[in-house]
Every structure is written in structure tokens, then in C-alpha cells.
Structure 1
Amino acid sequence: MFKKPIVLNGKAPKFVQIQEDLINKILNYDILYDDKIPSETELMTYYNVSRHTVRMALLNLQKENFIRKEHGKGSFCNYIADKGHESKTILVLTTYISDYIFPFVISGIEKELTARGYNMMVACTQNDKIKEAQILKNLLTQNIAALIIEPTRSADPNANSALIQELQNKGVKVIFLNAEYSDISAPFVRLDDEKLSYDLTKLGINLGHKSIHGIFKKDDLQGIRREAGFFKAIEESENLENYRTVTYTTVTKHIVPLDYVKTQIKNNTHPTLFICYNDEIAVDVIRAINECGLKCPEDISVLSFDDSTLAYTSSPNITSVVHPKEKLGKLVASNAISMVEDNAKLENIILTSDISIKKSCINIYQ
């Protein structure tokens, strides 16, 4: 789109022509929301103009909220184009997009929205509340029908409550994914994290493990609920010799679990089973076990959540709770459409699932 230079031959000043050309590209879906705008140097070459002319055009586009500038990163499209008067665009705002299980969830959302004639826009917060605030502020000027939002660090106070409520006051339907903000009146679709953690912990106990440690994330509700399910199963069991949990945050996820496991092994206080918040952590735990000269599951077993591709590529394959990724995506998309088309007040949906048994946890009794 920006590869072959064009000639500006209109009567208007060149910066105005550049501005109008970029707006047309945005309105015609050539540039989508959150797409990176070419650099000033690239635009100078494309339009055959000076840097000053490019900067004038970009400054005007920023003032009109068609683009936004991010320090050290460049300019990004800040406008969600929509062809109709009534918006058929639903924005999906997740903590991440391309990592872990998120592509499968987003794929489920996209399939349902496309089948029902809706456009999908995707943005991510990178689990950063400041980034979440920036995106929500930008949405206030856009024409969207609904917002599917995965809360950012959902166990922490909701700093962006007013922005979400302002969107609702404008008529934007809001539905939560994976967790929820308790101070916002909106339905959610999520897993029954507490029950699934209870089931996973019970599996370990039934396999004879009496020394069990849990590793859980403390800045999102999934982690809080999974830790609660862990302790519920522990409290119902007898004759356990050693049990405890350690928690970490988004920032420390690749530091605290590794250090904890290595310290436990070094001090010879390690359990026979680690129950991990998700497969990413489980992979790190298995690596720590190996680096300490022990083996999984012969010396220490591991159980986990999400049954992601990591559970199958890890050695050993990890026994993990199955996350109904695409199903979850389709459900939240279908409910978002019902809210838009029927103004429906929906009940919350809490999904359960199964455990995929693989090779990371041994039976102590055998």
C-alpha cells in the first residue's frame, strides 16, 4: 500500500492532500485500528515531500483522533472505521493477542462475529492498566456496537471503571471475558477456575501425593480463584504432610516460580507435586527441576491448567485442565451480539471442563 510513491497534484496544500489520503485509507479499511502508520521517512518517500510537510499532516490527524502517537514506537491508527450508521463493529480487548491460548480464543470470537455479519477489531493491553486506559479513552470517540474485554490484572483495583461506565452510557454494550470487574454491571463468560483447581488438586491427592505446593498468579482473578480451589481440596483431605502456595505477578512470572522451585529443591523441602497456574509456569517449573538434577515426574510431578500446545511439546507432556478456548470465544461473541441486537440482559456463563491426563504426574501408590 505504501510501496509505490504517488504524485500529489491537487490544488490543496500538500500536507492537506496527505492528510486526506491517509483518512481515505483508514475509512476504506486499508489501515485498520491499531495498525502502525509508516515512519516520517517512509511517508516522505511515498509522497515525495519534506519532513515538515509530513509532520503537519500527522499533527492534524492526531488532533482529529485518526492517529495516536506512542513515545518511542511511532504513530498508530486510532480510528475504527464502520460502513453503516449503526455500528456492526465489536472491539475485542484482551491482555495479549498472539501469545499462548489467546489466538484460539480470538479465532472463536472471529468465527462467530463473521458468521453473524459483524466486523471484529482487536487490541491488547499487554496486561498494563495504563495501556488499557489509553485504549478505552480512544474508544469514546469511535463508533462501536460492543466491547468484549478481558480485564487487565483483574485482581487489582479497577482504575478504569469510569471509562468503561462512560462507554456504557454512550450505548456500547460491554461483556467480560475470562474474569470481570466487580464494580461494573456487565455479564461475563469465564471458566469455573475454583472448581477446576479443586478437581486438579484432588487428582494429585488421589494419586497419593501428600506433599503438594501450588504456584499461582496473584494479580488476576483466575489465579485467586485457582488458589482458592487448591486450598479447598487441601482442607478436605487428611494426612497431608506438606502443603503451601507461592504467588507471583505479571512482572515476576518468569522469576518467582523458577527461584522458588530451585530453592525448595536446594533445601530439600520440595514437594512431590507442584500444581501450576498455567502451562507457561509448568514449563518453567519442569526446567527448574531438570536444572537441579532431578526429573519430572520421577522425582517431582507437575499438574497444570489450559492444555495449551506447551502441554504437548513439553517433555514430559503435561497433565493439564482443558481450556475450551474456541468455545469460550464463540460464547462471548454470541452473547455480545445478543446484547446489541436484542438489548438482552444476559446471565453470566461459567464453564467447566475436563483434565487431559498425560505423563507429568505419577501415581505414588504404584
Structure 2
Amino acid sequence: MSLNNEPKYIQLKEFIKNYISEGQLKADDKLFSEHELANRFQISRHTVRKAIGELINEGWLYQVQGKGTFVANTEGESKRKSKLIGVITTYLKDYIFPDIIYGIDEVLSKEGYTILLGHTNNEFEKERNCLLNMLNNNLDGLIIEPTKSVLPNPNIDIYERFKAEGIPIVFIHAYYNNFEASYVMEDDVLGGYMATRHLIEQGHQRIAGIFKSDDLQGLGRFQGFVQAHREHNLTINEKHILWFSSQDFDPLLLDDAYIQRFIHRLKTCTGLICYNDQIAINMLEILRTQGIHVPGDCAVVGFDNSELAQQGEIKLTTVAHPKEKLGRKAAASLLELINGTKECIQEKMEPELIMRDSTQTTN
């Protein structure tokens, strides 16, 4: 680094930028440590940190906590405004996801943005591959549904790279506790409370529940389930609560022995809260095959108000998911972050209970 009248931190910045531009350091290569740079150029570590901090803000570098500073996949400040937004969900083809994506696209397309879709199948490695692919596509922003949001996420280092490169992120449905970011989601605690209170008001006191254990939606809905029971001084029997994870989803629906054990535990219950409409619809069929009448013997509530809820002989009472509205809100929030009018947006949307045949009281 040659000495001139420029401040030393600016000289160091130019040295690092030239080093990267000349190809001596490539994307994701680790930068020299602060100690090495300070010794090499006979400057203070404070000066080194100032130079590195500005290069991170300009998109040349990114940091991974506990590992060091790395070269970003960027061309500096010129790498921006691609008018491309990444959208990653757990699934794409069916259920509520097409409606969510439609809502996102409706807002973004009006502002001249194109969306790049990806899905994780709710698996960490697929999430990682999607994130890396999005990083290579010069995004202006990212909307993403977390994978197994309750569990420690092994891809936080990639999320930190988005932050380091100044690419705003909006999570939908949930968020990661160890990564501070914006989110737009349904108030699942309130939804679980509304569903359970509805059954209690219908006269049910022994209510079972099926909840997902590895995402915040499942925990929130269970929390609302508990809240309604406590408010009405009702006991919760743990034998009547079934937890399942993402990997258990198919066995829950298809394993006859497993279902038989759960039906046996449900014998004294007159109400059932299901994590989503998919499970609720399957439970309606299982209850029918067991000679248990809905809603006469057991009232059933689902979540999401998907198209499934209105199919079949028994229409399903369900807590409505905002779907398109949530997609539009997530997209609008991301635009606020991109334009700099907001720094962080964390919003929970109020759910709505849709009452149908599966909880209708009979006289």
C-alpha cells in the first residue's frame, strides 16, 4: 500500500478492492485477518476495522460470526437494482402456496420487478442450495418461508451474507430466533385460541389436538390451544395431544397402526384441533371409517381455509389463512425495505374463523 495524502483506511480499502478486482481473491475466499493487515501495513486494527466495515456496507465483503471476513460475490456498488426478487417457499405446487405467490407477484410486477421462485421441500440442504442460487442472481430482495423454524438453522451463515451484501429479507409464516429480520405472518397464537374457544363455546370440554413440533406455526397454535383452556379453567390431557414433525407427516396420514393408537386415545374426546386442513380432512375420513360421526361424536377444526376445507360431504370449520393478502403485504414490506422507508417490519396478521359443518351443533 503506497503512502499518499489519503487517509490510511481509504488506502487499505483501495488495496483490498484492487486485490479482489485483479482476481487474487475470489468470491467466498477468506480475507486476511485484522492482525495480518495491521502488521502488513503498519496501521492500527481500528483503522483496519473501519476499512473492512465500509467494504462490507458497500457489498465487497461479508462476515460470518466466529469464522472471519470473506469476499462477497459482487462487483461493488454497481451490483444493484436488478429488479429481480427471490421468493422461496417450502412447497410450490398446491395447497395455499400458489395464492401466496400470486399475491407477491401482483404487488411486485406493478413496480417492474420479476420474481425468481424456489422451494426447499422443508429441508435444510435444499434451503441452502436455494439461498446460494439466489445469491448468484443479483437479487434486490428476498421473501422466504423458513425451513423448520423452531430448530437451530445451519444456514444462518448464508443469511448473514445476504445482510452483508445489503439484500433485504422478509420472512413469511415464521422466522428464525437467532437471526434478526423482518417478517409477515399470521398470528398463530390467536388462531389456536380462536379455534379452541369456538369448540369450548360449543360445549366441548375434552378437546384433542394435532400439532407440528418443528415450526413456529405449530407451537403458536398449541400456545393458543393452551391459552383457551386456561381461560376456561379446563384441564389439558397430554394423552390427547399428538405432535409430529416434517418427516412424520406421511406416516401420520398413512400408518394404520399409528392411527389406531391415536384413535384409541381420542375415545373420550368430543373435539379435535388439527394443525392444518390437510390433516383435518384426513382425520375426517379416518373418523368416518371408525364409526365416529362428525360433528355429532367429535367436532373438528382445521387451519388455512384451503380449497380442501370446502370439498367433501362435510365442510370443514377452519381458521382462515390470509394467503394472497399475506403475499401482498410481504411484497409491499420488502419494497419499503428496498426503498429505505423502513428498516425493519415485523407484523402478525389477525386470522378469521370460518364456521362450517364440522363443528355445527345438532339438536
Query: In the alignment, what sits opposite 2:42?
Result: none
CA RMSD of aligned residues (A): 1.9
Q: TM-score, normalised by structure 2?
A: 0.74
Question: How many residues in Structure 1 have an aligned counterpart in Structure 2?
Answer: 282
What is the deviation of 1:347? Answer: 2.7
Alignment of 1:179-328 (within 5 A): 179-238=174-233, 244-256=240-252, 262-266=260-264, 269-328=267-326
Residue pair 1:88, 1:145 contacting (<8 A) in 2 also: yes
Indicate how the Cα distance of structure 1 residues 223 and 284 shifts in structure 2: closer, same or farther if over 3 A, else same: same
d(CA) in 2 for partners of 1:268, 1:321: 22
Q: Does 1:91 align with 2:89?
A: no
- Which string of whole-angstrom CA distances, capped at 9 and with x for unpartnered residues, describes residues 276-327 of structure 1? 0100000111111012122211221101111110000033000001111100
Could you tell me which amino acid in structure 2 is paired with residue 305 of structure 1?
F
Paired residue secondary structure (1:215): strand
**Alignment match, 1:336:** 334
Separation (CA, whole Å) in 2 of partners of 1:195 and 1:315: 28
Are the aligned partners of 2:190 and 2:351 in contact in 1 as well (CA < 8 Å)? no
Q: Structure 1 regions of 5+ residues with no counterpart? A: 1-83
- Give the conservation status (yes or no) of the 8 Å contact 1:191–1:351: yes
Q: Is residue 201–residue 233 contact of structure 1 (8 Å, CA) maintained in 2?
A: yes
- Tell me how far apart the structure 1 counterparts of residues 292 and 242 of structure 2 sit (CA, whole Å): 21
The CA deviation at 1:253 is 1.6
- Distance in 1 between residues matched to 2:351 and 2:266, nearest whole Å: 35
Alpha-carbon displacement from aligned partner over 1:162-186 (angstroms, at most 9, x marks no partner): 1011111112111111100122221
Equivalent positions of 1:1-366 (< 5 A) are 86-238=81-233, 244-256=240-252, 262-266=260-264, 269-342=267-340, 344-363=342-361, 366=363
Separation (CA, whole Å) in 2 of partners of 1:173 and 1:99: 27
Aligned partners of 1:248 and 1:257 also within 8 Å: no
**Shift of residue 223 of structure 1?**
0.3
Cα distance in 2, alignment partners of residues 289 and 169 from structure 1? 52
Kept after mapping to 2: 8 A contact 1:189/1:348: yes
How far has the Cα of 1:338 moved from its partner? Answer: 1.3
Percent of aligned positions that are identical: 34
Cα 1:347–1:218 change in 2 (3 A) is: same
Paired residue for 1:30? none
Letter in 1 for 2:184: V
> Distance in 2 between the 1:265 and 1:165 partners?
45
Pairwise CA distance, 1:257: 6.0
Partner amino acid for 2:116? M
Q: Which letter does structure 2 place at the counterpart of 1:252?
A: D
Amino acid at match of 2:348: I
Distance in 2 (alpha carbons) for counterparts of 1:157 and 1:299: 40
Match of 1:48 in 2: none
Per-residue CA deviations over 1:134-192 (Å, capped at 9, x if unaligned) read 11122332210001010011111111101011111112111111100122221100011
**Equivalent residues of 2:144, 2:169 under 8 A apart:** yes
Q: CA 1:131 to 1:268, structure 2 compared with 1: closer, same or farther past 3 Å?
A: closer
SS of the residue corresponding to residue 357 of structure 2 reads coil
Equivalent residue of 2:294, what SS? coil
Q: Is the 8 A contact 1:208 1:363 kept in 2?
A: no
1:290 and 1:144, CA in 2 relative to 1: closer, same or farther beyond 3 A?
Answer: same
